[in-house]
């Protein structure tokens, strides 16, 4: 089991060595293997990057991200401009499903609403919105409603689990309501919970 000082030292090293976060004003504390991030960054993407760096460290059990986004004056923009750019970017990235996504912007905070067919579309819309100049954050309220039979989804999820080395041999999927699935099993550390699907 890793000690709190060991985890904190590795996290600080990663933040300082990453070109996207090395100029951020971030303080880190670790207690009982729970990481707390505080301080200020210049973009929402930078805040997310710090969080991802923390999650990638083996041995942590929890994370509190209290980092605040303080946009430079030159990056502050009116909400209508942010909404327009977010809509255009999502339509380019998701030309066949972007028209089902609605955007609400309040004080630079982008809220995604509507319905998409696949989880990757929800994730792509969130990723694109995060990159919009002037965005202070993104709240993803997109509902994923697939029209594929749940048995077919279950089969593909089970196959992906078998192919992903990050999961142990006892990993499995269990269907919940409305084609939502619960993944059961074990991973080596927290970052592997979001491991990408294996390539074919």
Give 156-194 pLDDT, tens digit per residue: 666 766 666 555 555 555 555 555 666 666 666 666 666
Q: Are the CB atoms for 112 and 126 separated by under 8 Å?
A: yes
Q: Are both 82 and 66 inside the same structural domain? A: no
Q: Rounded distance, CA 64 to CA 37, Å?
A: 6
Q: Are both 171 and 157 inside the same structural domain? A: yes
Q: Are the CB atoms for 69 and 43 separated by under 8 Å?
A: yes
Q: Are both 131 and 162 inside the same structural domain? A: no
Q: Rounded distance, CA 136 to CA 138, Å?
A: 7
Q: Are the CB atoms for 125 and 90 separated by under 8 Å?
A: yes
Query: Would residue 200 count as lying in a domain?
Result: no
Residue with more model confidence, 130 or 182: 130
Query: Would residue 199 count as lying in a domain?
Result: no
pTM above the 0.85 mark? no
Q: Rounded distance, CA 81 to CA 105, Å?
A: 10
- Residue that is written with structure tokens 């939502």 in the block: 180
CA 90 to chain centre: 17
pLDDT of residue 75: 80
Q: What is the mean pLDDT of the chain?
A: 82
Q: Are both 164 and 114 inside the same structural domain? A: no
Q: Are both 97 and 155 inside the same structural domain? A: no
Select from 70, 100, 124 the last residue of a domain.
Answer: 70
- Residue that is written with structure tokens 């995604």 in the block: 112
Q: Are both 98 and 154 inside the same structural domain? A: no
pLDDT in tens, 42-65: 888 888 899 999 999 988 899 999
Band of residue 200 on the pLDDT scale cut at 50, 70, 90: very low
Q: Are both 66 and 78 inside the same structural domain? A: no
Q: Are both 118 and 158 inside the same structural domain? A: no
> How far is the CA of 135 from the CAs of 16, 56, 105, 166, 173, in angstroms?
24, 25, 9, 34, 36
pLDDT in tens, 69-88: 888 888 889 999 999 999 99
Q: Among 104, 147, 105, 97, which residue's Cα sits nearest to residue 122?
A: 97
User: Is the model's pLDDT at 116 over the cut of 80?
Assistant: yes
DSSP category for residue 71: -
User: Is the model's pLDDT at 199 over the cut of 50?
Assistant: no
Mean pLDDT of 110-131: 92
Query: Would residue 136 count as lying in a domain?
Result: yes
Select from 35, 52, 70 the last residue of a domain.
Answer: 70
Question: How many domains does the chain contain in total?
Answer: 3
Q: Are both 83 and 127 inside the same structural domain? A: yes
For 113, counting Cβ atoms within 10 Å of its Cβ (0-12 exposed, 13-18 middle, 19+ buried), the class is middle
Q: Are both 140 and 187 inside the same structural domain? A: no
Longest CA span, the chain? 52
Mean pLDDT of 22-37: 90
CATH code, 56: 3.30.1340.30
**Beta-carbon count within 10 A of 199 CB:** 5
H or E segment at 98? none
Q: Are both 84 and 138 inside the same structural domain? A: yes
Q: Which range of residues forms the domain containing residue 25?
A: 4-70
Select from 27, 47, 70 the last residue of a domain.
Answer: 70
For the ranges 16-25, 131-140, 146-155, the one whose mean pLDDT is highest: 131-140
Report the range of poorest mean pLDDT among 62-66, 88-92, 134-138, 194-198. Answer: 194-198
Q: Are both 135 and 105 inside the same structural domain? A: yes
User: Is the model's pLDDT at 124 over the cut of 90?
Assistant: yes
Q: Rounded distance, CA 50 to CA 39, Å?
A: 11
What are the beta bridge partners of residue 85?
Answer: none
């Amino acid at each position: 089991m890793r000690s709190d000082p060991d985890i904190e030292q590795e996290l600080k090293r990663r933040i300082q060595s990453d070109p996207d976060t090395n100029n951020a004003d971030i303080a880190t504390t670790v207690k009982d293997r729970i990481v707390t991030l505080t301080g200020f960054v210049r973009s929402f993407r930078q805040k997310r990057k710090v969080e991802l760096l923390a999650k990638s460290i083996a041995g942590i059990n929890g994370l509190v991200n209290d980092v605040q986004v303080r946009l430079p004056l030159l990056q502050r923009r009116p909400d209508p401009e942010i909404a327009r750019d977010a809509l255009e970017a999502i339509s380019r990235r998701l030309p066949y499903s972007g028209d089902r996504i609605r955007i609400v912007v309040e004080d630079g905070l982008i809220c995604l609403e509507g319905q998409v067919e696949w989880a990757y579309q929800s994730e792509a819309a969130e990723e694109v919105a995060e990159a919009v100049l002037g965005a202070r954050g993104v709240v993803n309220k997109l509902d994923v409603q697939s029209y594929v039979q749940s048995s077919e989804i279950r089969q593909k999820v089970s196959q992906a689990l078998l192919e992903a080395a990050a999961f142990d041999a006892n990993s499995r999927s269990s269907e919940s309501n409305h084609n939502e699935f619960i993944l059961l099993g074990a991973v080596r550390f927290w970052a592997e919970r979001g491991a990408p699907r294996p390539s074919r």
